[in-house]
Homo-oligomer: A and B are copies of this chain.
Amino acid sequence: MTQLEHAKKGNITSEMKIVSQQEKVKEGDLIERIARGEVIIPKNLRRSDLSVVGIGKGLRTKINTNIGTSPDLADIKYEIEKLKIAEKVGTDTVMDLSTGGDLDKIRRTIIKETHLPLGTVPIYQAAVESIAEEGNITRMNPDKIFEVIERQAEDGVDFMTVHCGLTLSSLERLKKEGRIDNIVSRGGAFLTTWMVFNERENPLYEQFDRLLELARKYDVTLSLGDGLRPGCIADSTDRAQIQELIILGELAQRALDAGVQVMIEGPGHIPFKEIEANILLEKKLCHNAPFYVLGPVVTDIAPGYDHITSAIGGSYAASVGADFLCYVTPGEHLRLPTIEDVREGVIAARIAAHVGDLSKNIKDAAEWDLKMAKSREKRNWKEQIDLSIDPEFARKMRDESKPKFKDVCTMCGEFCALKLVEKALKGEKPLILA
């Protein structure tokens, strides 16, 4: 039985117990939220030794790290290094988005190497194998998609992105809309190519029940992908995007009815002022299914800094209800991320998630800031460093610039405001004497 089926029956699973304790949410509340489809616990029934993670309403905002090869850079060791740094700096989940090299081997190595929930986008492998076997993506047999999904499920993949809402009718809407950047989703692009040349409906939509059956068998959480997410500010919140979201909402309901855990993927490139409306729309159209957003990236003009543009959008999105943030690295729009790109991307996403948690009044979120504020007042530098989101990096920065007095920093030196005022308010003469 899936976590959802258990919750519907009122059963508490060991995974629910863990999430309840981690998040300090009452077991009964958690079960209800899972049963309503507002919270998911992505864990393949075949997976053991998993660091269980709950995603959704009232829980800490989680973040995901994408790793994986491309045709241009297919080095499995390099990707494992990315996995390790992402784990070290605190990602909650990992997705293997490989499209280059031996895809089965890469995925199985990643599963062996991590205790974190693992996600994939099976259409990538279905497309890559079809190209290798049939000569072209357009010749892909729909059965190939489901065969790959089952192969990946058997390996223990916990959640899968499936672009089920990219239908012939949504593609028609896309064409009528007249976008600047039509489709920026790789999975969406593979499916579009196939659909256009075969003049056939998206198999993931047409055979959604078949997908549900597979997902239910392994308790694979479906991450309903947004193949039509806007790829630039000019295309944001357009008819094509919202059409796809409506369809995803319908499919999420079918998944919920079938006992299959589900979340919804969201944009993408969205200007700051449209973020709140986008979150509201997802929550309404998809009946509060957990929302998994990519960024949002709030401006197109900062390649090299898209960990920042997406931390801005992610902070806002999480503040108003997004549940799960996909990291974006500085390399986005420029290259496959490097190890350092991954590190910076994870930290930026964690900052955004925490900013959201402060807005959502998530348990212990404000407590963390309070501890830091108190150690600043005490000018306890060891504690400040230990409390930092990236202690190693904060320590390095401080060590590179040593102050004359150990209780301050080189920004103000002896003129430290906190130190001056502490003395003044105590009535002690300031130390600064000629």
**CB-contact partner of A401 in B183, B305, B309, B336, under 8 A:** B336
State which of A32-40, A238-246, A405-413 sits at the interface with chain B: A405-413
| Docked-complex contact B175 and A398, CB < 8 angstroms | no
| Docked-complex contact B377 and A181, CB < 8 angstroms | yes
Binding site secondary structure of chain A: helix
| Docked-complex contact B369 and A185, CB < 8 angstroms | no
> Residues of B contacting A99 with CB < 8 Å?
412-413, 415
**CB-contact partner of A366 in B234, B384, B404, under 8 A:** B234
Task: Verify if A420 is at the interface (C-beta below 8 Å from B).
Answer: yes
Task: Verify if A262 is at the interface (C-beta below 8 Å from B).
Answer: no
Task: Verify if A272 is at the interface (C-beta below 8 Å from B).
Answer: yes
| Docked-complex contact A404 and B72, CB < 8 angstroms | yes
**CB-contact partner of A387 in B301, B374, B411, under 8 A:** B301
Given A351-B312, A420-B193 in contact, is the A135-B299 Cβ separation under 8 Å? Answer: no
> Residues of B contacting A356 with CB < 8 Å?
272
- How many Å from the CB of A225 to the closest CB on chain B? 12
- How many Å from the CB of A241 to the closest CB on chain B? 15
> Residues of B contacting A15 with CB < 8 Å?
none
| Docked-complex contact A355 and B298, CB < 8 angstroms | yes
- Give complex CA distance A344, B326 in Å: 23
> Residues of B contacting A425 with CB < 8 Å?
175, 182, 192, 196
| Docked-complex contact A299 and B413, CB < 8 angstroms | no
Given A232-B369, A359-B271, A421-B192 in contact, is the A72-B312 Cβ separation under 8 Å? Answer: no
| Docked-complex contact A303 and B415, CB < 8 angstroms | no
| Docked-complex contact B135 and A305, CB < 8 angstroms | no
> Residues of B contacting A192 with CB < 8 Å?
420-421, 424-425
Closest to A273 in B: B359
Closest to A401 in B: B335
Task: Verify if A354 is at the interface (C-beta below 8 Å from B).
Answer: yes
| Docked-complex contact B272 and A434, CB < 8 angstroms | no
6 closest Cβ pairs, A-B complex:
A232-B373, A335-B401, A189-B417, A71-B413, A72-B413, A189-B420
Q: With contacts A300-B372, A338-B401 known, what are 12 further pairs, Cβ within 8 A?
A: A71-B404, A180-B377, A184-B418, A193-B423, A193-B430, A273-B359, A298-B355, A299-B354, A299-B358, A300-B376, A304-B393, A305-B347
What is A's interface to B at a CB cutoff of 8 Å? 70-73, 99-100, 124, 127, 131-138, 175, 180-186, 188-190, 192-193, 196-197, 231-235, 271-273, 298-305, 307-309, 311-312, 315-316, 319, 330-338, 347-348, 351-352, 354-356, 358-359, 366, 368-370, 372-374, 376-377, 384-385, 387-390, 393-394, 397-398, 400-401, 403-404, 409-418, 420-425, 427, 429-430, 432-434
7 contacts between A and B (CB under 8 A): A181-B377, A186-B412, A232-B369, A233-B366, A301-B368, A335-B397, A335-B410
